[in-house]
Chain A
């Protein structure tokens, strides 16, 4: 079992390396992190937080958009691409379980994502620490951001595999992935904010809103990092609006989502008839 998962992961790494996915993912993370850390260095002093914690708060806002995007871009092709190329029927006649195929792909894609995260966050953190040695006290926040980003990535990788299995064609899968990304990280928050404003402190804001935030993996990720780093003040919008949600709840959401997404992916993949 382990050997088959590893074999699949190795082959996926070969493919990702040749398709320049590793370079693209690392490049995206590094460039955006550096831009953000340059822009985000302005508000120091007024907040009293160390420079790295402020950088982490900025990186959190970036990662909410970028990590799901990179994860979906890497995963939308996983099943639909194999089906369209015609490589899927042969693979499925091998003595390998379908979930093992997905686990191998996940392992490879997670590894690439983690490399990109470490490179991007590392570059931003290095700049913060060079400019202000006291920023080292924010290293805990950076570590927290890194592992929660990895879990967020795993969640969207799993969702991407599920979409890829449902769509059967890469064009359809790409459309679904973009739609899901827009919906979950952009429109979802806008809709919630609009509802909160319209509700004006009523029962929706008190009861439904916190649950709705926890139900979205991207929002749970942002909540957890911002409430944990006490730098929530730098972040506008949803993060500031939901300071009342206990941290263990957002942590549970972050931990459970990858498991659920992978279950979803293997359920969808099992239904694929090549």
Chain B
């Protein structure tokens, strides 16, 4: 299947500072891809290049088969900026009606769209009176107009409460199921972990890692931690039996590499009469993220 978004060797300089260097990536229809990186890693710049707001210095970009910023590309791409802003004198309904007309949609659907993002009751109030979360939902509503083939979402869930976040990802899942490609950036790592198909990690303008969470976990080869709670008095036996075990408060902590995981578990299992409980803690997304970001010298 051809990709909705393809980028190869994208480079962008801002006054001698490399914002993006030699970045390549793709997003397929129906795929949900998360773009991770520190502040200033180049996430927003990359999104602006994809949208045609900022011109690339070199590299090839194809957005729905067109050049970025092309009228054809713009008609198929929806964007949610970080901190979506609107004119404070307009009501949510007026603003969404306007965006619908710009996309050639009938604006009678504006109210239904606002209902969908939970703004139905506030639709006829001025956006100036909205909270940050409500403005973010206006932004989300405009990104849902028509049937975008690619959604570019810059930190879409910032300012949303946990329930709204869940609703938001449900809307995204429905769009992806219809074949829309989704590229979103986020700082909430645990959130994208469960809700996206693939992760991209940008660091200082370079793509330092790409793949599903399982692939990244394997590539990073970070140690696995085990927390063992011994039955009263047996912790000394466990410390003696497992060479790299240490005592932390009342528990015994063991760390081992991915390769040694099963062997270590077997050792632990052999002492099952002495153990009350065991927790196996895989490296978290935060650990994996730090690993790839730091490898680049940060």
| Interface residue ranges, A against B (CB under 8 Å) | 3-4, 6-8, 10-11, 14-15, 18-19, 85-87, 89-90, 92-97, 273-274
Q: Do B85 and A95 have beta carbons less than 8 Å apart?
A: no
| Besides the known contacts A18-B126, A87-B86, 13 further A-B residue pairs in the complex with CB atoms under 8 A apart | A7-B98, A8-B102, A18-B90, A90-B84, A92-B53, A93-B51, A93-B53, A93-B78, A93-B79, A94-B74, A94-B99, A95-B104, A97-B71
Q: Do B85 and A7 have beta carbons less than 8 Å apart?
A: no
Interface size on B, residues (CB 8 A): 31
| Interface residue ranges, B against A (CB under 8 Å) | 48, 51-55, 71, 74-75, 77-79, 81, 83-87, 89-90, 94-95, 98-99, 101-104, 126, 139, 142
Q: Of the candidates B53, B87, B94, B139, which one forms a contact with A273 in the assembled complex, judged by CB atoms under 8 Å apart?
A: B53
Q: Do A93 and B77 have beta carbons less than 8 Å apart?
A: yes
A97 nearest CB neighbor, chain B only: B71
- Choose among A18, A93, A94 the residue with the greatest number of B CB atoms under 10 Å from its CB: A93
With A96-B102, A97-B71 known as contacts, the answer to whether A85 contacts B53 (CB < 8 A) is no
Provide the main secondary structure of the chain A interface: helix
With A3-B101, A19-B89 known as contacts, the answer to whether A90 contacts B81 (CB < 8 A) is yes
Task: Give the chain A neighbours of B99 by CB distance below 8 A.
Answer: 94
Q: Do A273 and B54 have beta carbons less than 8 Å apart?
A: yes
With A90-B81, A90-B142 known as contacts, the answer to whether A274 contacts B53 (CB < 8 A) is yes
Top 3 closest A-B pairs, CB basis? Answer: A7-B101, A86-B85, A18-B89
Q: Do A14 and B90 have beta carbons less than 8 Å apart?
A: yes
CB of A87, distance to nearest CB on chain B (Å): 5
A87 nearest CB neighbor, chain B only: B85
A15 nearest CB neighbor, chain B only: B89
Q: Do B81 and A85 have beta carbons less than 8 Å apart?
A: no
A6 nearest CB neighbor, chain B only: B101
Task: Give the chain A neighbours of B87 by CB distance below 8 A.
Answer: 15, 85, 87
6 of the cross-chain contacts (CB-CB < 8 Å) are A10-B98, A14-B89, A87-B85, A93-B53, A94-B102, A95-B75
B76 nearest CB neighbor, chain A only: A95
With A15-B90, A95-B75 known as contacts, the answer to whether A89 contacts B102 (CB < 8 A) is no
Cα A19 to Cα B90 in complex, Å, equals 10
Q: Of the candidates B53, B77, B79, B81, which one forms a contact with A86 in the assembled complex, judged by CB atoms under 8 Å apart?
A: B81
A94 nearest CB neighbor, chain B only: B102
Cα A87 to Cα B83 in complex, Å, equals 10
Q: Do A11 and B98 have beta carbons less than 8 Å apart?
A: yes
Task: Give the chain A neighbours of B81 by CB distance below 8 A.
Answer: 86, 89-90
Cα A95 to Cα B104 in complex, Å, equals 9
Cα A6 to Cα B98 in complex, Å, equals 10
Q: Of the candidates A4, A11, A94, A273, which one forms a contact with B90 in the assembled complex, judged by CB atoms under 8 Å apart?
A: A11
Task: Give the chain A neighbours of B139 by CB distance below 8 A.
Answer: 90
Cα A141 to Cα B103 in complex, Å, equals 44
